[in-house]
Amino acid sequence: MKTALAGFAALLFMSACAIAPGVCEVLGSGEAAALHSGESEAAALVPEEGGAAALLPDEGLLEGWKADGEVLLYSAGDLWEYINGSAETFLMYDFKGVAVKHYLNGSGSEIKIEIYEHGSPLMAFGIFSQYRSPDAGSLGFGNESFGDEYTLHFWKGRYYVKVYAYDEGPGVAEAMKQFAEAVESGIAEAGSIPEEVSLFPAEGLVANSVTYVTEGVMGSGNLPPAFIASYGGGAAAKIYLFTLDDAAKAAALFESYSGGIGAGIKEVESGGTGYGIAAGEAPYRGRVVVIKSGKRVAVLSGFGDQEGRAEALAAAMAEGIAAAEAKQ
């Protein structure tokens, strides 16, 4: 039954890609299409102690639902056998393993649970942020969640959890929620939403648009990981936020990037906060504004001729960064 439903699962993912730009931006349509390869039968069939497998609900948890087959386990070495085209994306987020289990009820409806384990809460947030749709509201699970009638996603601690349904049969929606609650309750380490999410100025910020990208930031292989937020008023308007180990490393990145766009650095003050700022032309990005405050650097890109707006957002961000670092 799993093999027969694999194509439909792939279609669900392709639909999610259409509404979750973060996924498409990282994967590309060709890689997403590769999901049609379905689930591999080569996965280990014996669950390991602890980890994601231990969080899967027992088949007797919900009346009328029973396990369909054994638990499927995949590691970083064979994840491509399960999700193929999107495996590379998961590996970018310190992926440790995934446990998968199918459940059936008497009417033939099926629910699948996937529990992805990553190296830290930050990495779990990162992979979740790639799949989240900005238009989807929270469902109240974990630290953050979203979904529709066929899928329920959330992250908590080091885990990113997906609950899938293949139809809207009687009791399926409620069963999805109960399965999700069971998994969530078993995750002892909650983690927290990264502090950087709160540092993006609220004015014009597109709701639920903050993502965390570990590789290829702004199309470069030389930049460190970054949080990225989208802003209204232009499809390309984004702020990239880099957190470095210390202020010296932040200064080095700031000076290097500013030099690369041929921009002179100025020291300015806003609201009692001093910070460095530079503006120049970046290849393929046009006019950009870059700031440095404490151990963080931000690049504002895609604001076009709204440089005044970009600089106002930069000032607000510098003030927020200074306030946050002062509390540490």
Domains defined along the chain, listed by start: 2-186 (3.40.1000), 195-326 (3.40.1000.20)
Residue whose structure tokens are 């996924």 = 23
151-156 and 159-165 strand pairing: antiparallel
Using an 8 Å Cβ cutoff, are 73 and 97 in contact?
A: yes
Encoded tokens for 118: 């990553």
This prediction's pTM: 0.82
Comparing CA positions, the residue from 42, 245, 23 lying closest to residue 153 is 23
Query: For every one of its 328 residues, what pLDDT tens digit does the chain have, with 9 covering 90 and above?
Result: 433 333 334 333 333 443 343 434 443 333 333 322 333 333 333 334 468 999 999 877 898 899 999 999 999 999 999 998 899 999 999 999 999 999 999 889 999 999 999 999 999 999 999 999 878 778 889 999 999 889 999 999 999 999 999 988 888 999 999 999 999 999 998 889 999 999 999 999 999 999 999 999 999 889 999 999 999 866 689 999 999 999 999 999 999 999 998 888 999 887 788 899 999 999 888 889 999 999 999 999 999 888 889 999 999 999 999 999 888 7
* Tokens encoding 323: 């306030």
Q: From residue 242, how far is each of 6, 42, 152, 292, 313 by CA, in Å?
A: 38, 40, 30, 10, 16
Instruction: Please report, as a single letter, which amino acid is at residue 35.
Output: L
Token readout for 91 is 């590996």
On whether the CB atoms of residues 231 and 206 are closer than 8 A, the answer is: yes
Where residue 29 falls (left for φ over 0; alpha for ψ -120 to 50; beta otherwise) is: alpha
The runs of H, that is alpha helices, within 79-238 are: 80-83, 87-91, 121-131, 172-186
CA distance 36 to 215: 26
Token pair recorded at residue 245: 């180990």
